[in-house]
Amino acid sequence: MSGIAPREPRVKNRLVVAHKPSDQVVALLTFGAVALCFPAFFGGDSYTMSIATEAVIYALITVTLNLLIGFGGQISLGQAGLVAVGGYAGALIGAHLGGFPFPLEVLAAGLATAVVGFFLGLPTGRLRGHYLAIATLGFGLIVPQVATNWSSLTGARDGLIVNAPQIGSITFGGPVSLYYATLAVAAVAVAALLAILQSSSGRAFAAVRDSEHAAAAMGVNVWRTKVTLFTTSAFFAGVAGDLFVHLEGIVSPDSFPFSLSLFFLAAVVVGGLASIWGSIAGGILLTIVGAKTSGSGGLEPVIIGGTVVLLLLLSPGGLAELPRRLLSGIRGLSLRELSLGRRRISFRGSIRKVRNRA
């Protein structure tokens, strides 16, 4: 412990939360348990069940976006576009191959979206920051436009009807059975994502995020990793898209506006970057906020936007970082220190430190 060497400044703005896998698993099991028991209390109310199903789907999408943004360090303002591709793929399979088993349909939707994600990742793998943001923004806007114009395939503005998912002779038509079918798929998806993140692939994503040079020196092919990241995120977004259109019963270009991409972005940030349970919490929270305010005619975006702004100013690490912040608060951080990005010289007794605020 040298007292003379200059102390390296802490990473400014604890943006990425990155809980240990063991923490994640506990939180996820808790979510899982609650989710399983949910219909026992609310199964009778089909409106609540559909909101719950929507929450599961939105939580999953938020996780896929967090994979890209939090774990991978990229940016995307167009996740809704990928969800749309998955949704349309699932709808088309259902329309042309009646009776296709649900698990295979989900897989196929994911694969179709993965292909699109791959082609999206190729050019965007070279982009950064605002360029990347705007390019993905463009993508998110293009998909509904293409859907509108490719009327022979997609039914244009009218969209396509989507039937209930089925496996063989079992149809998951009712609100509770659809909820469970959705939950099952989402759980498998999250488990797969966890497996990826805890492996060398997940480490490669994080390495590219934290230091591209060091990553390359460790043998990580940076561009290929970014493309893989986009493709993977797209796959699971496509899976979620298929779940989404089964819930809605219909898919049309209007189902995927830019505001939806914003919604997921907000959920990721609110929940905390690089935290799976944070994303699930964020997705669920915003779904509830959205459901509660949808009737208020225009206030919904204000509330969501306002929530995001306030939360960012107070806790850049989002919900996932809140426990840590609250604990630190008990240890005596002042409220002033909770704002973002300012250097401060603090005098604590006789020790003078230059600190970046977390």
Partner 1 sequence: MHAFGQYVIGGLPFGGIYALAALGLVLIFKTTGVVNFAFGAMATASTLILWSVLQHGGLPFAVAWIVAMAAAMGIGALCEMTLLRRVERSPVLIQIVLTLGLLLVIEGVAGTIWGYAPKAVPRVLTGSPLSVARLLITPNDLFIVGLTVALGLALFAILERTRAGLAMRAIAADRGVAKLMGVRTRRYVTAAWAIGVAISGVAAILVAPTVGLDPSMMDEIGVFAFAAAILGGFGSLAGAVIGGFVIGIGSNLIAAYISTNLQLTLIFAFIIALLYVRPQGLFGVEAVSRQ
Partner 2 sequence: MLDLSGISLSFGGVQAISDLDLGLGEGVIGAVIGANGAGKTSILNVISGFYRPQAGSAWCRGVDLLARQAHEIVGLGISRSFQNVALFNELSVFDNLLLGADHLRRNGLLANMLRLPKARRHERDARTRAARVLEFLGIEQLRDRRAGELAFGDRKLVDMGRALVGDPRLVLLDEPAAGMPEARRGPLADLIRRIRAEWGASVLLIDHDMELVLGVAEHVVAIDFGVKIAEGTPAEIRTDRRVIEAYLGEDHTATEPTN
Q: Which residues bind partner 1 (CB under 8 A)?
A: 12-13, 15, 69, 75, 77, 122-124, 126-131, 133-135, 137-139, 141-142, 145-146, 148-149, 213, 258-259, 262, 265-266, 269, 273, 298-309, 312-313, 316, 339-342
Query: What residue 171 binds from partner 1, partner 2, none (CB within 5 to 8 A, per partner kind)?
Result: none
Q: Give the nearest distance from C-beta 151 to partner 1 in angstroms.
A: 10
Pick 232 or 261: Cβ nearer partner 2: 232
3-class SS at 25?
helix
Q: Give the nearest distance from C-beta 316 to partner 1 in angstroms.
A: 6
Q: Give the nearest distance from C-beta 40 to partner 2 in angstroms.
A: 32
Pick 82 or 106: Cβ nearer partner 1: 82
Q: Give the nearest distance from C-beta 108 to partner 1 in angstroms.
A: 25
Q: Which of 112, 82, 93 is closest to 163 using CA atoms?
A: 93
Query: What residue 335 binds from partner 1, partner 2, none (CB within 5 to 8 A, per partner kind)?
Result: none
Pick 243 or 269: Cβ nearer partner 1: 269
Query: What residue 203 binds from partner 1, partner 2, none (CB within 5 to 8 A, per partner kind)?
Result: partner 2
Query: What residue 302 binds from partner 2, partner 1, none (CB within 5 to 8 A, per partner kind)?
Result: partner 1
Q: Which DSSP symbol is given to 163?
A: P
3-state secondary structure 119-152: HHHHHHCCCCHHHHHHHHHHHHHHHHHHHHHCHH
Q: Give the nearest distance from C-beta 304 to partner 2 in angstroms.
A: 27
Q: Give the nearest distance from C-beta 131 to partner 1 in angstroms.
A: 6
Counting every residue written for the chain, the total comes to: 358
Q: Give the nearest distance from C-beta 65 to partner 1 in angstroms.
A: 11
Distances (CA, A) of 310 to 139, 281, 304, 307: 28, 17, 10, 5
Dihedral sign computed on CA atoms, order 333, 210, 113, 184: negative
Query: What residue 124 binds from partner 2, partner 1, none (CB within 5 to 8 A, per partner kind)?
Result: partner 1
d(CA 288, CA 295): 13
Cβ-contact 105, 164 below 8 angstroms: no
Pick 151 or 346: Cβ nearer partner 1: 151
Pick 77 or 234: Cβ nearer partner 1: 77
Pick 218 or 313: Cβ nearer partner 2: 218
Query: What residue 51 binds from partner 2, partner 1, none (CB within 5 to 8 A, per partner kind)?
Result: none
Query: What residue 163 binds from partner 2, partner 1, none (CB within 5 to 8 A, per partner kind)?
Result: none
d(CA 235, CA 272): 22
Cβ-contact 256, 34 below 8 angstroms: no
Q: Give the nearest distance from C-beta 334 to partner 2 in angstroms.
A: 21
Instruction: Summarize as ranges the residues that interact with partner 2 (CB under 8 A).
Output: 1-2, 4-8, 10-11, 16, 18, 20, 192, 195-196, 199-204, 206-207, 209-211, 213-222, 228, 232, 274
d(CA 246, CA 239): 11
User: Within 10 A of 186 (CB to CB), how many other CB atoms are there?
Assistant: 24
Query: What residue 313 binds from partner 1, partner 2, none (CB within 5 to 8 A, per partner kind)?
Result: partner 1
d(CA 221, CA 223): 6
3-class SS at 344?
strand
Query: What residue 221 binds from partner 1, partner 2, none (CB within 5 to 8 A, per partner kind)?
Result: partner 2
User: Within 10 A of 337 (CB to CB), how many other CB atoms are there?
Assistant: 15
| Phi-psi map region of 76: left, alpha, beta (phi>0 left; psi -120 to 50 alpha) | beta
d(CA 133, CA 264): 14
Q: How far is CA 301 from the centre of its chain?
A: 18
